Structure 1
Amino acid sequence: MTTQNRNVEIEERHVEKKTDSSMVASTFIKYTAYIIIFFGALYFLVRYVFPMF
């Protein structure tokens, strides 16, 4: 049996996970605003609309 020397190229991948802190902050502010608006509307309903019934 004869063996051959094979040249095998190995591809290396280095994956770096990049986090964009401004994107995280803007998403946090957006959902915080949604929650404040939701509770504001709920407060309005409980305080002004429900007593009318």
Structure 2
Amino acid sequence: MADERRVEVQKEQKTDRGLVGATFIKYAAYIIIFIGILWFLINYILPMF
């Protein structure tokens, strides 16, 4: 007959601080670039209309 096997899977959460920091810097740069583009549009493009 069929054997029943119980397998426990444990996931270890490893947070690599270097990876977290690099991801934070990347998204912070995206936000700064986005704000810079918005600032440019508001200050230079919109007054033309």
TM range (shorter): 0.7 to 0.9
- AA paired with 1:52? M
Which blocks of at least 5 consecutive residues in structure 2 are unaligned?
1-5
Q: How high is the sequence identity, in percent, across the aligned residues? A: 57
RMSD across aligned positions (CA): 1.8
Which blocks of at least 5 consecutive residues in structure 1 are unaligned?
1-9
Equivalent in 29, 32, 41 of residue 37 of structure 2: 41
Going from structure 1 to structure 2, the CA distance change for 1:51 and 1:18 (only over 3 Å counts) comes to same
- AA paired with 1:36? I
- AA paired with 1:43? W
Going from structure 1 to structure 2, the CA distance change for 1:11 and 1:51 (only over 3 Å counts) comes to closer
1:4 equivalent in structure 2: none
Point out the structure with the larger helix share: 2
1:27 equivalent in structure 2: 23
What's the TM-score once normalised by structure 2's chain length?
A: 0.74
Task: Name the count of aligned residue pairs.
Answer: 44
